[in-house]
Structures are given as structure tokens and as C-alpha cells.
């Protein structure tokens, strides 16, 4: 026997129904207008494949339920209330691998939840509220932790969080978030050795505020002000422990305003800058600290009026006009004893007319 109950126009009608498979009672329910209304049992096709086992009340799934795909593989087990998933549940893919376990309320994730990929690897565990990640959580890649922190409306939120490199498992970021973006005081680390490479302030995912940058060996490279992801304001550059520049920046370039350059711990230039190049009044020094040039700069070269000096005794070597770093125009050349060697005009560093 497959079925006993009432029909209307060849359809299972209202009333109590019993269904059998291989003479075994599998489902005893009440039908209304051809639809399951109330009852408990299994739904089995003619081949014996189970699609459902559990209970209906007033036409809706209620209680502990199991659902299966066409290959008789379990795809869901858990609790329903009035036709909606509510309570602790498990979901499986068509291969039977667990893809989700946790708490539901009114058919959406609400509570502690774990999610897995198609390989069965954990990709998330944490708190959901009304179907979105809200509260503390962790993300994984190939079972390796890549993020832990706070969420709001599915985004890494305004709270503390940590990010990890998916290949090396090393901590690469720790700090604060707002609306899924880095925001507030943060630290970044090199993924290959875990050393600190950046610390400072972010705003909406960009460096904005006081920042320190380091190379992968934690040698200081820069400290100063950023605005909207670019160096703007006062700052210092380093090469290892050696200071190589201090001054003002605009849009990542050494800007107009006073600045100083150093080489091997010695001052080699002090003066003005424009668009990242020496510009305006400035002084250039030999490595021994003696003055090399005092005068006008343009586009990084001596241009205008200036004085050039001998390296050892500080005496004037040339006093006059320059163009693109060479003597051009009127000028005087001096011997090291201070006496005039030539007084006249120059062209590309060559004497052309004597006074």
C-alpha cells in the first residue's frame, strides 16, 4: 500500500492521510486542498529518496526538521518555527559538506554562527544580528586566521581589529576601523618577518595625521604629517638611522619653504624648495661642513646670483651669475689666497671677455 486517505478530483484532499513506502508507514498527516497541513513523518519519492523528515503544523514546518537533496544527501537539519528557521541549525552543500552552523531567528542568521567553504574549511565565526555580521568575529582563509575584530552591518567596524597575512600567518595590521576602513591609530607590520613598518593615524582608509614609516628591518624612513594619503606639512626622511631631510612637504614633494638635507650625518643643503626641488635662496655645503655655495637655486640647480667657495679654507672661488649650475654672465674668479684671478664675463663656465 502506498496511500490511504481521501481524494477530490484525483488530488489528495483535506483530511487525514497515511503514506507508505514498501508497506511501511512513513507519513501520517492532515491535508488541506492538496497541501500538507499538519503531521509528522517523512516525504519519500517512488525510488525511496527522502526529501523531508519532520513535522508540519498549520501548513508550516515546525520543530526539528531534516531536508535532503535528490541524491538523498542531508542539506539541512535544525529547528523551524511557523515555517521559518529559528534556533540552532546546520546547512550542508550537495556533497554533504557542512557549510553553516549556528543560530537563526525568523529565517535569518541571528546569534553565533560558523560558515565554511565548499571544501569544508572554516571561513567565518562570530556574531550575526538580523542577517548581518554585528559584533566580534573572525575570518579565515584555508583555515588560517586573516582577521579578528568587530563588525557592524557586515563591515569591519569602528572598533579594534587585527589582520593577518594568509600565506605567512603573521600579524600585518592592528588598529581601529570605521565603516570597514582603517580609521584611527593603527600599526602595520611586514608580512615576511613581522617587523613594524608603519604606525600613525588613518582617516577613512588613508593616512591622515602624524605617521612614522619604517623599512622591513624597522629602520625609520619617515616621520611627519600626512593629509589624505600624501605627505603634507613638516616631516623628516631617514636612511637607516641617518637623517637625510627635514622640512616641509606638499602632495608628497619637498615643497616651498625651508628645508635641510644631510649626507653621512653632515648638513649638505639648507634653503628653499619648490615642487620637490631646491628653489630660491639656499646654501650648499661640502661633506666636511665647509660652505660650497651660497645663492640662488632654480629647479635644483644654481641659477641667478651666487658665491662658490674652496673646500678647505672657506675662501671665495667665484662670485657672480649662474645658469643651470655653470658660470654664465658677469662674475669674478679668485685664487685661494683671495686675490682676483679673472673679472669679466663667462659662458657655460668659460671665460669670454675680460674686464
Are the C-beta atoms of residues 200 and 222 closer than 8 Å to each other?
Answer: no
Nearest residue to 177 via CA among 213, 202, 197, 140: 202
Distance CA 74, CA 63 (A): 17
pTM exceeds 0.85 for this model: no
More confident call, 40 vs 75: 75
Nearest residue to 235 via CA among 218, 260, 216, 215: 260
pLDDT for 117 beyond 90: yes
Are the C-beta atoms of residues 298 and 292 closer than 8 Å to each other?
Answer: no
pLDDT for 58 beyond 90: no
More confident call, 19 vs 152: 152
Alpha-carbon torsion angle 7, 9, 14, 15, nearest 10:
-20
CA distances from 41 to 19, 38, 49, 91, 306 (A): 9, 10, 14, 20, 100
Distance CA 348, CA 316 (A): 19
pLDDT for 325 beyond 60: yes
Can you give the three-state secondary structure of 3-50, one letter per residue? EECCEECCEECCEEEEEEECCEEEEEEEEECCEEEEEEEEEECCCCCE
Distance CA 17, CA 34 (A): 11
Q: Which of 1-5, 157-161, 183-187 has the highest mean pLDDT?
A: 183-187
Least confident of 16-30, 169-183, 278-292: 16-30
Least confident of 32-36, 228-232, 336-340: 32-36
Three-state SS at 241: coil
Residue 1: pLDDT band with limits 50, 70, 90: very low
Query: For the chain, what are the domain ranges?
Result: 1-48
pLDDT for 25 beyond 80: no
Work out the mean pLDDT of the chain and round it to a whole number. 89
Residue 310: pLDDT band with limits 50, 70, 90: very high
Amino acid at each position: 500500500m502506498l496511500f490511504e486517505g481521501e481524494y477530490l478530483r484525483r488530488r489528495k484532499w483535506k483530511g487525514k492521510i497515511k503514506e507508505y513506502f514498501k508497506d511501511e508507514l512513513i507519513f501520517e498527516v492532515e491535508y488541506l486542498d492538496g497541501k500538507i497541513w499538519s503531521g509528522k513523518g517523512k516525504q519519500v519519492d517512488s525510488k525511496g529518496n527522502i526529501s523531508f523528515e519532520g513535522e508540519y503544523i498549520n501548513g508550516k514546518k515546525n520543530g526539528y526538521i531534516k531536508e535532503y537533496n535528490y541524491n538523498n544527501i542531508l542539506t539541512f537539519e535544525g529547528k523551524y518555527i511557523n515555517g521559518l528557521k529559528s534556533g540552532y541549525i546546520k546547512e550542508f552543500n550537495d556533497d554533504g559538506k557542512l557549510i553553516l552552523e549556528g543560530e537563526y531567528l525568523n529565517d535569518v542568521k541571528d546569534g553565533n554562527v560558523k560558515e565554511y567553504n565548499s571544501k569544508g574549511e572554516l571561513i567565518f565565526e562570530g556574531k550575526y544580528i538580523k542577517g548581518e555580521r554585528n559584533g566580534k568575529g573572525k575570518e579565515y582563509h584555508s583555515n588560517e586566521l586573516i582577521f579578528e575584530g568587530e563588525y557592524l552591518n557586515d563591515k569591519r567596524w569602528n572598533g579594534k581589529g587585527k589582520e593577518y597575512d594568509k600565506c605567512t600567518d603573521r600579524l600585518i595590521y592592528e588598529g581601529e576601523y570605521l565603516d570597514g576602513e582603517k580609521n584611527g591609530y593603527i600599526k602595520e607590520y611586514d608580512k615576511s618577518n613581522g617587523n613594524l613598518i608603519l604606525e600613525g593615524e588613518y582617516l577613512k582608509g588613508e593616512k591622515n595625521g602624524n605617521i612614522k614609516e619604517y623599512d622591513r628591518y624597522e629602520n625609520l624612513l619617515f616621520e611627519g604629517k600626512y593629509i589624505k594619503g600624501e605627505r603634507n606639512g613638516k616631516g623628516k626622511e631617514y636612511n637607516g638611522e641617518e637623517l637625510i631631510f627635514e622640512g616641509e612637504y606638499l602632495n608628497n614633494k619637498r615643497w616651498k619653504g625651508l628645508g635641510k638635507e644631510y649626507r653621512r650625518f653632515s648638513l649638505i643643503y639648507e634653503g628653499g624648495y619648490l615642487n620637490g626641488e631646491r628653489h630660491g635662496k639656499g646654501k650648499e655645503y661640502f661633506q666636511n661642513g665647509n660652505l660650497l655655495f651660497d645663492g640662488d637655486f632654480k629647479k635644483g640647480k644654481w641659477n641667478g646670483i651666487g658665491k662658490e667657495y674652496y673646500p678647505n679654507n672657506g675662501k671665495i672661488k667665484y662670485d657672480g651669475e649662474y645658469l643651470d649650475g655653470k658660470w654664465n654672465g658677469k662674475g669674478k674668479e679668485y685664487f685661494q689666497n683671495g686675490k682676483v684671478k679673472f673679472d669679466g664675463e663667462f659662458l657655460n663656465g668659460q671665460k669670454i671677455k675680460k674686464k
